[in-house]
Amino acid sequence: MDKFVIRGGLPLNGQVEISGSKNGSLPILFGSLLAPGPLLLEGVPTGLRDINTTLEILRQFGAEVEKRDHQVAIEVPTQGPVKAPYDLVKKMRASISSFGPLLARRGEAVVSLPGGCNIGDRPIDLHIQGMEALGAKIRHENGYIIANGPLKGGSVYLSGPMGPTVLGTQNVMMAAAGADGVSVIEGAACEPEVVSTADFLRTLGVKIEGDGSPTIRIEGVGQDGFASLGGVTFTIPPDRIETGTYILAGAAAGGRVEVRNCRPKDNLALLSILKNIGVPLEIGEDSVTVTGVDQVTPCDVATLAYPGFPTDLQGPLMALLCKTDGVSLITEKIFPDRFMHLSELRRFGAKVRKEGSTGIIEGGAPLHGAEVMASDLRASACLVIAGLMASGTTQVRRIYHLQRGYESMEVKLRGLGADVERVEDRQIESETVQG
């Protein structure tokens, strides 16, 4: 197991290139199950663990997968296994998005219920309701959902108590693409990754309207509708959460960072918050330049479905808010328990606490390097940013979480002048003992 060793307090300066979107790639990779291919996906962040887990799952479904540098070529036979086993689904919840494409193309899907997750409760009831609305017959057996087609167009409502579901919308869109007839999804998620999935389906020849709004209309091509489809190329857009993370890191560490190959319009909520708290930004067509600040003004924000402020940037923003001259509030309205980073932030000396689903940050306390434990992907990014801000040395353990979603983070940060090393945990432990 590796960890990051960060010698903090150095400003970040220079340019950083954003990779293709993780959360954009995952459903589209599973969407490749809809057609025989060959299909070529470009701009895939192939260095990420979640991408490699996905390719492993696709192979289990009988796909031939070839990974090159930021490209994946896929061919999928019509017949083949339809089971997404627990061992893989528990590793990566996004594998639930194999459900729709498998059901549409192979008429059957056997998908493990994902089980526990360290950012809180994450049911999949809306995915199931959506498939049922398209005519799927579903039963539960030994922790698995067994679904059978054929699918036909239907009317689907996909919002729950916490708002719309992102993967649920993508999953049902992909199922509807291979269903017979027209489907309409109401209460759909509007995230840019949903629009990318719709763009991908359009590349496969599916007629879709309304993606990016709560009502999406899909003209399904039927179970054999993609039977002769091949030679398709699709490019994954840049990662808006990686973009936001580097913008926040630049603001927090000081210096001047140009975040390149991004889509600023996908991050309007974050950019608006940063402007309001006094972070200087220059916004270009496909870049954002951020100038670091010694202090930001406090704020009161909530995570919300897109175009609201994303839950995936809640932790990274919390690190920056330790630089305020007052009290800030961040309320989690998507995953109310997603605060595992909070007690780790305290180890840096931050004055943070939680009341209900609100994180309370009393800014102004200086951060000192600490030994901290990453608990999930975005919590890890929060701790790395805190480590860059802190004086002295920080060790962020269990950084395998980071490798799920940030390509070569230590390399990118070093390119900006940070002193970050990725080392094997045990080696450093024995050095510490010797010291």
> Which residues form the catalytic set?
117
> SS3 for 365?
coil
Per the CB < 8 A criterion, the answer to whether 35 and 413 are in contact is no
Identify which of 72, 29, 27 has the alpha carbon closest to the alpha carbon of residue 47.
72
> Minimal distance in Å, beta carbon 255 to ligand EPZ?
26
- Of 187 and 254, which CB lies nearer to ligand EPZ in the complex structure? 187
Q: How far is the CB of 126 from ligand EPZ (least distance, A)?
A: 3
DSSP string, 65-114: EEEETTEEEEE--SS---EE-HHHHTT-GGGGGGHHHHHHHHSEEEEE--
Torsion of CA 411, 16, 321, 6, to 10 degrees: 20
Could you give the CA distance from residue 230 to residue 26 in angstroms, rounded to a whole number? Answer: 20
Residue (323 or 404) nearer to ligand EPZ, CB? 404
- DSSP letter (8 states) at residue 6: E
The least CB distance from residue 73 to ligand EPZ, in Å, is 22
In DSSP terms, 68 is beta-bridged to 71
Residue closer to ligand EPZ by CB (options 84, 124) is: 124
Cβ 64 to ligand EPZ shortest distance, Å: 24
Distance of CA 228 to the CA centre of its chain: 32
Q: Which of 114/264 has CB closer to ligand EPZ?
A: 114
**C-beta neighbour count of 434 within 10 angstroms:** 6
Q: Tell the smallest beta-carbon distance from residue 311 to ligand EPZ (Å).
A: 5
Interface ranges with ligand EPZ (CB under 6 A): 23, 26, 93-94, 119, 121-127, 160, 162, 165-168, 189, 193, 310-312, 334-335, 377-378, 405
The residue behind tokens 């590796």 is 2
The residue (of 160 and 364) whose beta carbon lies closer to ligand EPZ is: 160
Do 284 and 264 contact (CB within 8 A), yes or no?
yes
